[in-house]
Structure 1
Amino acid sequence: MDEIDQKILKILMRDARISQKELAAKVGLSAPGVAERVRRLEERGVIRGFTIDVDPEALGYPLQAIVRIRPLPGKLHIVQQLISEIPEFGECDKVTGDDCFVARLYIRSMKELDGLLDQIVDKAETNTAIVKSKPVERRMPPLSPR
């Protein structure tokens, strides 16, 4: 990936809705040239998609919880399926270590948190932390080695 590809990615990370013409002007290429580079980045799997950033609080979810989940013996696949079916789980990583999953829950209240965790309590142990703030928002990894 050369410097122009890196510039394209940085600009698209800030504004995925930028027009091809405007993107081309910012990186010093023609619109067809930029379109070709973006297409190649997609084909190589560097760009997986274009999305929006939605504020959960604006949708009525003022609280977020990080939940570490350790399925009981023989319950791993059941717990994984349950997590995927509960829409308040906004994301989940399968991890190494004592816990099998680390997930982010979007919730309206502590009562709602209890109700959601009650759905898996007989199949897994959980450890929950309420998110106070996000000092680092989700970002892409560095584009070039340090």
Structure 2
Amino acid sequence: MNLLTETRSQVLDELNIRILEELSADPRLRTTELARRLGVSTPTVRERVTRLEESGVIRGYRLEIDPAALGRPVAAWVRLQPGPGQVSRVAELAQNTPEVVECHRISGEDCFLLRIQIPSIDRLEELLDRFGPYGRTNSSFVVSTPVAPRAVPLT
């Protein structure tokens, strides 16, 4: 049976959920250690992780870097309402602007939600000026992060 046609309960059985919990806590966990923690064989874990990757349940492994350590301590969210016919241009500009570290197409009055990382607040004006010709912006600075990005709940 092709994994893509399996039901959610088959893909996310108890062992796979336990694998995902362990890898969420430590994505660098070695297969042998993961197998030991779960009480199963290394080949079983390797095959399960491969199937989770191939099915798209595991989309990748990421390195988290502190933006402040790279001289970009200021984070802001920018909501953007594009002018008529500007949606594709905004998406392209966001893709080609290194300070944009996330871009979401959203519903509602605004069509885009961008997260940016910049060296200082005064750099926001320069960044917004790049997007100005394509629509109206509204920005908010991140003051603190009580809940950092985390894995989707598995249960």
TM-based fold match above 0.5: yes
Within the candidate set 97, 100, 109, 2:108 is matched to: 97
Where structure 1 has 5 or more consecutive residues not aligned to the other structure, the ranges are none
Which residue is equivalent to 2:9? none
Q: What residue is the counterpart of 1:83 in the other structure?
A: 94
Structure 1 match to 2:133: 122
Deviation per residue, 1:67-86 (Å, 9 max, x gap): 00111112111111111100
More helix by share: 2
Partner of 1:72: 83
Q: Quick check: 2:21–2:154 contact (8 Å CA) kept in 1?
A: no
Deviation at 1:141, TM superposition (A): 2.1
SS in 2 for 1:102: strand
- Aligned residues with identical type, % of pairs: 44
> What are the residue-to-residue correspondences of 1:1-146 with 2, within 5 Å?
1-144=12-155
- CA–CA distance in 2 between the matches of 1:10 and 1:137? 17
Q: TM-score, normalised by structure 1?
A: 0.94
1:104 maps to amino acid? R
Q: Which residue of 1 aligns with 2:8?
A: none
Structure 2 gaps of 5+ residues are 1-11
Partners of 2:152 and 2:62 in 1: CA distance: 18
* Structure 1 runs of 4+ with >6 Å offset: none
Q: Match for 2:148: what amino acid?
A: E
Q: How many residues align?
A: 144
Distance 2:91 2:44 in 1: 43
Q: Secondary structure at the match of 1:73?
A: coil
The 1-side partners of 2:24 and 2:64 are apart by 11
How far does residue 44 in structure 1 lie from its aligned partner after superposition?
Answer: 1.2
